[in-house]
């Protein structure tokens, strides 16, 4: 959780009075974290910046409906996921653009099994972006946001069984898209690709 | 707990959200089952690996200054309608509930009274009314120097069944003179 100068209740009260200082604090506290998650979901930094901007604007507009039953970040994240769905409604797959390819091509390190971490990371990024949005969502929520199964279920408004099923198929699909050296299921597979 | 049951609870086991009793059953199963122990270990490794990957790929990302400025600027557009939104948000639930209660009460009342009225009409039995009266008739005749009169009487009977609307049966009877 991001560090804030005021507690969440106070922050929400100030947001409801349209206090610019509170908005500034909200953006400072959660902006970068939301951006990284948006990037993981959509794979494009420019689009991720737009989604986060819209997330904050929508949050400011609807702050009067926020009852404080969840943490502020949870509330913001729900808006973010919803907006990401809108952005990708007409797109089945994300286009793997040059910007992302540059980002994926990070400096490489040799690994004991010959697969460098840069290649592994790039392959993972590409595999993730070829997943359907429903599968990518559960992967990002589970392994990036470190959410628990019941939290993911609440976020996506589906049952816990559906979340587990999607996770299972998403990992299985990712595995098919990854090179043989990157085994998400095999014994010790992920141990061998540490940076 | 068997292997299938453990696989169903795998994610909750790894994240530590199982109840004490189910966790104990899972631990007991893992102590005996090498395959499930390996599955649990793989999930922990996978979670760590993917989490590290995401962090590594995104740690350099920061929200652009112009995006921050645009978010702050959006406040100016919000100030005027904000009060209306606040009032509506404060009262929308009470207003909504009150409107719903009124609607339901109206429907119930209308239904109730229409039933009462219908019942009352149905409860009214037809009333049979019969009225009779005597109609005397005087007849005079002259026999010599005498004038004789006779009286005859005619009984008229009117019977009617009253049903709240128009008479369903009207019967007139005339009886012969006595």
Which chain A residues contact residue B89 at CB under 8 A? Answer: 64-65
Q: Are B12 and B52 in a shared domain?
A: yes
Whether A1 is covered by a domain: the verdict is no
- Please state the domain count of chain A: 2
Taking CA–CA distances from A139, the nearest residue in chain B reads B50
Whether B44 is covered by a domain: the verdict is yes
Taking CA–CA distances from A48, the nearest residue in chain B reads B63
CA–CA dist A44, A35 (Å, integer): 10
Q: Residue B129 belongs to what H/E stretch? A: strand B127-143
Whether A94 is covered by a domain: the verdict is no
B10-69 confidence digits (pLDDT tens) = 999 998 889 999 999 999 999 999 999 998 998 888 888 888 888 888 888 888 998 888
Which chain B residues contact residue A35 at CB under 8 A? Answer: 58, 61-63
Last residue of a domain, one of A53, A87, A121: A87
Q: How far is B6 from chain A (nearest CA, A)?
A: 13
Position A106 scores a pLDDT of: 46
Q: Are B54 and B85 in a shared domain?
A: no
Give the closest residue to A41 by CA, choosing from A141, A119, A168.
A141
Domain of A52 in residue numbering reads as 8-87
Token representation of residue B54: 């995401």
Q: Please tell me if residue A138 touches chain B, with a CB cutoff of 8 Å.
A: no
B95-151 confidence digits (pLDDT tens) = 888 888 889 888 888 888 877 776 666 666 777 888 888 888 888 887 777 888 888
Please classify residue A171 by burial: count the beta carbons closer than 10 Å to its beta carbon, then call 0-12 exposed, 13-18 middle and 19+ buried. Answer: buried
Q: Are B11 and B53 in a shared domain?
A: yes
Q: Are A13 and A80 in a shared domain?
A: yes
Taking CA–CA distances from B83, the nearest residue in chain A reads A17
- Would you tell me which residues 82-101 of chain B have a C-beta closer than 8 angstroms to some C-beta of chain A? 82, 85-86, 89
The ipTM assigned to this model is 0.72
The values of phi and psi at residue A115, to 5°, are: -95, 110
Domain of B79 in residue numbering reads as 63-108
Comparison of pLDDT for B78 and A71, the residue scoring more:
A71
CATH code (residue A35): 1.10.1740.10
- Which of B63, B64, B80, B91 is most worth mutating to test chain A (most A CB atoms within 10 A of its CB)? B63
Whether B94 is covered by a domain: the verdict is yes
Q: Which residues of chain A have pLDDT under 50?
A: 1-5, 92-101, 104-114, 187-195
Q: Are B96 and B53 in a shared domain?
A: no
A12-40 confidence digits (pLDDT tens) = 888 888 888 888 888 998 999 999 999 88
Whether B168 is covered by a domain: the verdict is yes
Position A101 scores a pLDDT of: 47
Q: Are A119 and A179 in a shared domain?
A: yes
Q: Please tell me if residue B59 touches chain A, with a CB cutoff of 8 Å.
A: yes
Question: Which residues, 6+ apart, have CB-to-CB distance to A60 below 8 Å?
Answer: A15, A18, A23, B71, B74, B75, B78
Q: What number of C-beta contacts closer than 8 Å exist between A and B?
A: 121
Q: Are A59 and A114 in a shared domain?
A: no
Last residue of a domain, one of B17, B39, B58: B58
């Amino acid at each position: 959780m991001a560090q804030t100068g005021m507690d969440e209740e106070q922050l929400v009260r100030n947001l409801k009075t349209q206090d610019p200082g509170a908005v500034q604090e909200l953006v400072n506290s959660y902006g970068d974290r939301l951006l990284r998650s948006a990037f993981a979901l959509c794979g494009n930094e420019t689009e991720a910046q737009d989604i986060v901007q819209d997330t904050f604007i929508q949050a400011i507009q609807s702050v009067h409906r926020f009852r404080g039953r969840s943490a502020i970040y949870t509330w913001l994240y729900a808006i973010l996921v919803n907006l990401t769905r809108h952005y990708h409604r007409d797109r089945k797959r994300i286009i793997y653009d040059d910007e992302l390819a540059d980002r994926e091509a990070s400096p490489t390190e040799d690994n004991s099994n010959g697969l460098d971490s840069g290649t592994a990371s790039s392959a993972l990024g590409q595999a993730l972006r070829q997943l359907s949005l429903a599968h990518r969502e559960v992967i990002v929520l589970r392994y990036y946001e470190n959410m628990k199964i019941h939290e993911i279920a609440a976020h996506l408004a589906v049952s816990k069984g559906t979340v587990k099923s999607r996770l299972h198929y998403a990992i299985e699909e990712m595995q098919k898209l990854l090179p043989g050296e990157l085994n998400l299921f095999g014994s010790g597979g992920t141990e061998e690709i540490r940076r | 707990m068997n292997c299938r049951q453990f696989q169903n609870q795998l994610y909750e086991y790894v994240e530590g959200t199982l109840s004490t009793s189910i966790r104990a059953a899972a631990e007991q199963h893992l102590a005996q089952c090498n395959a499930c122990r390996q599955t649990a270990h793989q999930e922990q490794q996978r979670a760590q690996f993917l989490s590290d990957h995401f962090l590594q790929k995104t740690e350099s990302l920061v929200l652009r200054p112009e995006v921050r400025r645009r978010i702050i600027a959006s406040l100016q557009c919000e100030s005027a309608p904000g009060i209306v939104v606040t009032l509506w948000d404060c009262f929308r639930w009470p207003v909504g509930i009150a409107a719903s209660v009124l609607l339901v009460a109206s429907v119930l009342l209308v239904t109730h009274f229409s039933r009462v009225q219908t019942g009352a009409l149905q409860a009214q039995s037809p009333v049979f009314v019969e009225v009779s009266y005597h109609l005397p008739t005087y007849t005079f005749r002259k026999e010599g120097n005498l004038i004789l009169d006779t009286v005859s009487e005619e009984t008229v009977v009117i019977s009617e069944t009253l049903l709240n609307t128009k008479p369903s049966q009207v019967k007139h009877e005339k009886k012969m003179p006595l």
